[in-house]
């Protein structure tokens, strides 16, 4: 038996770590975002700074001439200048400081760099759990060869070093996708905090693989039968953009905006 869902173009359920984590934290927030299609104001301000740094690092690795062993800091400056057009002078300065720190910590000590398998890439794979077929999709900042497998690199531009919740789900999900896409196992995931020049690395274990398949299977069944998207109040509410619609957090509820989707009885579109 293969379950088909109304709105998935290929009849599959699309899944990502972000959606999975949103649901796990709070089904009500999940419903607002993915069922009703409500936008949530970002708590983190303009994404321009992060986009500029990600863009510069992508160029640094993608456009480098790998006939030469190591880029110079000048190469970093050239790539950075391509992405500063919409930034304030403070942001340009902070971004350049972050890139210099990156260069000192992660580039200059190397004898040479190896061309990544991919830079700012999108990946997708299908798999089946509990007789439900999922479509998994995600994107990555950089994908490197590591040992006899792969390493994912995720750049962070936050002002504090705070690994995101649900990192285990991300490891498990990315592993599922990469195994199918590249036929190589994900060995580890590294978060690089650019402002602080700090790297946190997680090793992928068989347990991640097992856990994520189990969770997705359980969640699939639960989502199919969920009639009520229950609020799950917790520390995460502070950063929730849906508080004004949430019966658990607001005594004076604002009406759901006109034009919001009606929602569906069956839903499973999750994303990394």
Site of interaction with ligand SF4 (CB under 6 A): 26, 28-29, 231-233, 236-237, 240, 242-243, 246, 248-249
Distance of CA 33 to the CA centre of its chain: 16
**Residues 233, 151 contacting (CB under 8 angstroms):** no
Q: Single out the residue of 20, 10, 18 nearest to residue 268, CA to CA.
A: 20
Q: How far is the CB of 33 from ligand SF4 (least distance, A)?
A: 9
Q: How far is the CB of 224 from ligand SF4 (least distance, A)?
A: 21
Q: How far is the CB of 69 from ligand SF4 (least distance, A)?
A: 49
By C-beta, is 19 or 83 nearer to ligand SF4?
19
By C-beta, is 42 or 82 nearer to ligand SF4?
42
Distance between CA 246 and CA 256 in Å, rounded? 10
Q: How far is the CB of 244 from ligand SF4 (least distance, A)?
A: 9
By C-beta, is 71 or 231 nearer to ligand SF4?
231
Distance between CA 268 and CA 164 in Å, rounded? 22
Rounded alpha-carbon distances, angstroms, from residue 102 to 120, 145, 155, 197:
18, 19, 11, 6
By C-beta, is 97 or 253 nearer to ligand SF4?
253
Strand partners, 56: none
């Amino acid at each position: 038996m293969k379950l088909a869902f109304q709105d998935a173009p290929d009849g599959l359920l699309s899944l990502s770590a972000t959606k999975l984590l949103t649901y796990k934290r709070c089904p009500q927030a999940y419903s607002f975002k993915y069922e009703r299609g409500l936008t949530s104001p970002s708590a983190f301000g303009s994404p321009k700074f992060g986009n500029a740094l990600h863009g510069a690092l992508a160029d640094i690795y993608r456009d480098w001439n790998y006939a030469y062993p190591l880029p110079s800091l000048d190469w970093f400056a050239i790539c950075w200048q391509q992405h500063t057009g919409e930034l304030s002078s403070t942001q340009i300065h902070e971004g350049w400081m972050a890139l210099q720190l990156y260069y000192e910590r992660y580039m200059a000590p190397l004898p040479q760099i190896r061309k990544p398998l991919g830079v700012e890439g999108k990946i997708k794979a299908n798999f089946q759990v509990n007789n439900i077929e999922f479509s998994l999709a995600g994107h990555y900042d950089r994908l490197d060869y590591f040992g006899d497998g792969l390493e994912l690199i995720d750049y962070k531009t936050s002002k504090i070093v705070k690994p995101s919740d649900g990192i285990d789900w991300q490891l498990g999900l990315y592993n599922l996708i990469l195994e199918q896409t590249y036929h190589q196992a994900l060995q580890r995931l590294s978060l690089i905090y650019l402002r602080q020049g700090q790297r946190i690395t997680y090793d992928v274990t068989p347990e991640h693989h097992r856990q994520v398949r189990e969770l997705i299977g359980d969640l699939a069944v639960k989502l199919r039968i969920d009639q009520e998207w229950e609020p799950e109040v917790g520390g995460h509410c502070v950063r929730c953009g849906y508080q004004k619609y949430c019966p658990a957090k607001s005594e004076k509820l604002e009406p759901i905006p006109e034009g919001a989707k009606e929602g569906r009885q069956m839903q499973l579109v999750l994303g990394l």
